[in-house]
Structure 1
Amino acid sequence: MTNKYRETLINEIIDRELNMFLAVKNRGGTSQCQELPESFRIMREMTHGVLPNSFLNSYKYDLKQAEKEGRNFMTEKYALMESLIPTISNSPQIKEIVQIESEWRKEVAAQFPRSVQPDGHESFCRYLGCELQTYSAATIIEYYDYMKSAQQELRNLVRERYELLMRKLGYASLQDCETKLTAR
């Protein structure tokens, strides 16, 4: 599959997610982050940009199914984060995925503490665990298998995500961002 196919796939996913995100009804009205859709797009591109097409296709299918069923994954994720709804999925893979990504994030935050805030670890784990609960069983397995594969290859997908984000933000790399933040 070509890079154009992948780019189109990621953009379609983000468009669907953004529609869900903008439809979230917050208790206090529209949230500040809902007024920044381009920031949302960048963060979701960071999330999906390091994942394989097999995962992306499975997740796109989940999004389409959710739309047909009148579900909003973003509403569900935030409701889970605030403990407003019960657990959606008890998949054992979710806990393991969060553990793997948690270790990766700790490594990146230790190496780049100005670029990746070490104190954001707990919220990262909660966010990821709640997001994963909105995925279908098939999509969770796709994600899990890829995490395990990356782990065996000694890759750190959290670092790869931050490298992608830093390039989007105009830095040459995560190290470039860290160096510039340290010099300030």
Structure 2
Amino acid sequence: MTKHDLINKIIALEWKMFHEVPNVGGPAACQNNPQTFEIMRRSQALSWSEKTLASYWQDLVEAEKKERNLMTEKYARMMASTFPEEYIEIRHHLPPLDPEVPELIEKIIKIILVWERELAKQYPYVCQRGRPIYSSEDNEYVTSLETYLRGELATFSLRTLKLYLEDLLQYSRENKNMSKIILEETVKNYGYNSLEEANKKIKSVIQKQLGD
């Protein structure tokens, strides 16, 4: 199976799970927007090694066999920061984490947040369109990247987390910013040729709106 085929299979199963995530008040708007989901998930997946993708695909398949929805679990775990009181009431429904997992998650988050800070300095207008970086910025309407990562990574197997951390360390050894690579792919899918162009055009739109 090629990397392209593997990513397609991953996104298809992720979308199935995402579309089935229960939501108070009915499906969220994003659950009816497969195009945006596709862009975001593909941009991320392209930055992963084939070993990590294959391991994550196995996680998804095994979860489906056990009737676990990893997307539901991800958003439930995010509630530990966004809705802590409600989280206390549901956390017993979530599978326990391997003892090694929390430390691995924090190592991964530490690396990614450094990259995200660099991006926010280089491309502030593009980054303003996304999530805030830190969990301290969470509220009932907005979830930070840090909280999102902590929820998502907790759905990965120990095997996948170790492989993903190795991917990040390899990018670091090559002095590359993995978050930048993902964001570059994302903006290209929205019609921009580069992050520089996207940042310049978004800045222009914002300034025009403020001028109006």
TM category, shorter: over 0.9
Q: Give the CA deviation at 1:38.
A: 1.2
1:49 maps to which of 33, 46, 49: 46
Paired letter, 1:121: I
- Give, in angstroms, the shift of residue 39 of structure 1: 0.7
Per-residue CA deviations over 1:88-141 (Å, capped at 9, x if unaligned) read 435111101001000100100111000012871121011011100000010000
Question: What corresponds to 2:114 in structure 1?
Answer: 103
**Structure 1 residue corresponding to 2:71, chosen from 70, 74, 78:** 74
Question: Cα offset for 1:24?
Answer: 0.6
Query: Structure 2: which 5+ residue stretches go unaligned?
Result: 81-86, 135-143, 206-212
Instruction: Identify the residue that residue 37 of structure 1 maps to in structure 2.
Output: 34
CA shift for structure 1 position 183: 2.7
Residue 15 (structure 1) aligns with: 12
The match for 1:169 among 175, 190, 197 is 190
Q: How does 1:111-150 map to 2 (within 5 A)?
A: 111-117=122-128, 120-122=132-134, 123-150=144-171
TM-score (norm 1): 0.93
Q: In the aligned structure 1, how far is the partner of 2:78 from the partner of 2:162?
A: 22
The percentage of counterpart residues that share the same residue type is 35
Question: C-alpha distance in 2, partners of 1:34/1:78?
Answer: 13
Q: Which moved more, 1:116-125 or 1:10-19?
A: 116-125
Distance 1:172 1:50, change over 3 A: same
Counterpart of 1:179 in structure 2 is 200
Using the TM superposition, give the Cα deviation of residue 67 of structure 1 relative to its aligned residue in structure 2, in angstroms: 0.4
Alignment coverage as a number of residue pairs: 181
Whole-angstrom distance in 1 between the partners of 2:202 and 2:27: 32
- The reply to whether residue 159 of structure 1 matches residue 174 of structure 2 is no
Match of 1:162, SS? helix
SS of structure 2 residue aligned to 1:121: coil
| TM-score, structure 2 as length reference | 0.81
Q: Which residue of 1 aligns with 2:137?
A: none
Using the alignment, how far apart are the partners of 2:13 and 2:203 within structure 1?
37
Matching residue's letter, 2:203: T
What secondary structure does 1:179 align onto? Answer: helix
Unaligned residue ranges in structure 1 (runs of 5+) = none
